[in-house]
Amino acid sequence: MVKKLSIAAIIMVFLVVSITFAMAEGKGNARKGKYLFRKTCRSCHMEGGSATELSPVSKTQAEWQKTFDNAGDLKCKDEWANLSEKDTVDIYSYLHGHAFDSPSPAKCK
């Protein structure tokens, strides 16, 4: 059990470090991110779902940055652990790129 936890912790740390690194580097594929967000996240993060309704305009760019930097603190961190590093960067690109105060805020759909 301890071994499993520590492996999970190591993965989380690795994920966080590499996401931050990747985000600092630049772009993921925001369009892939849109598809992945809908497939992975929206089922819970929608109206009537088990988590808060979310779309890119739910947060400012700075807030999305903070969320992803602190992914280990999220309730759904287990689901996050299942995503590849590229997938997470793509989802971040989509959410950050179309955030509340971004140049192209997502239109409600």
Partner 1 sequence: MPETKSQMMSRRKFLQLTGGLATATAMASSPCKVLYALTRDAGPQDTEEIREMFSACDMCFNKCGLIARVENNVVKKLDPNPKSLKSRGMLCARGNAGVKQLYDPDRLKYPLLRKGARGDGKWQRLSWDEALDHAAEQLDKIGKEYTRCGFLFMAGTDMQSTFVHQFAEAYGSYNVISHESNCLLSRNRAFLDTYGVMPTPDVLNCKYVIMPGANRFEALVTPDSMDLMTARTNKSKLVVLDPRFTKTAALADEWYPIKPGTDMAFFLAVAHVIISEELYDKTFIKEKTFGFEELREHVRQYTPQWAQKETDIPAKDITRIARELAAAAPSAMIYPGRRSSDYEDSTQIRRSYAIVNALLGNWDQKGGLLVPKKVKPGSMHIEAPFYEDNPDDRVDAGRAQMMFDEEGSFKHTRDAVIEGKPYPIKGWMTYKTNPMQTGANRDKTIEMINTLDFMMTVDIAMSDTAWMADLVLPAPSYLERQDPLSAFLASSTCSGVITRDPVVPAMFESKPVFWIVKELAKRLELGEFFDFTVDDFRKAQLKKIPEVAKALKEDGVYNVTGPSFGIHKGKPFKTRSKKIEFYNTRYKDKGIDPMPVYKQPKTIPENHFRIVVGRNAYITQSASTNNSLLWELEKENSLWIHPKSAAAMDIKNGETITVKSHVGKVTIKARVTKETRPDTVYMDTGFGVLSKGLTNIFGKGACIAQILEDKADKISGNMAMHETFVTVSKT
Binding-site ranges for partner 1 (CB under 8 A): 29, 31-32, 35-36, 38-39, 42, 46, 60, 97-98, 100-101, 103-105, 107-109
Considering only CA atoms, which of 37, 77, 80, 74 is closest in space to residue 57?
37
To the nearest whole angstrom, how small is the minimum distance from the Cβ of residue 89 to partner 1? Answer: 13
To the nearest whole angstrom, how small is the minimum distance from the Cβ of residue 77 to partner 1? Answer: 24
For residues 44 and 46, which CB has a smaller minimum distance to partner 1 in the complex? 46
For residues 36 and 83, which CB has a smaller minimum distance to partner 1 in the complex? 36
To the nearest whole angstrom, how small is the minimum distance from the Cβ of residue 10 to partner 1? Answer: 30
Assess contact for 106 and 63: CB atoms under 8 A.
no
DSSP 27-72: ---HHHHHHHIIIIITTTSSTTSSS----GGGS-HHHHHHHHHTGG
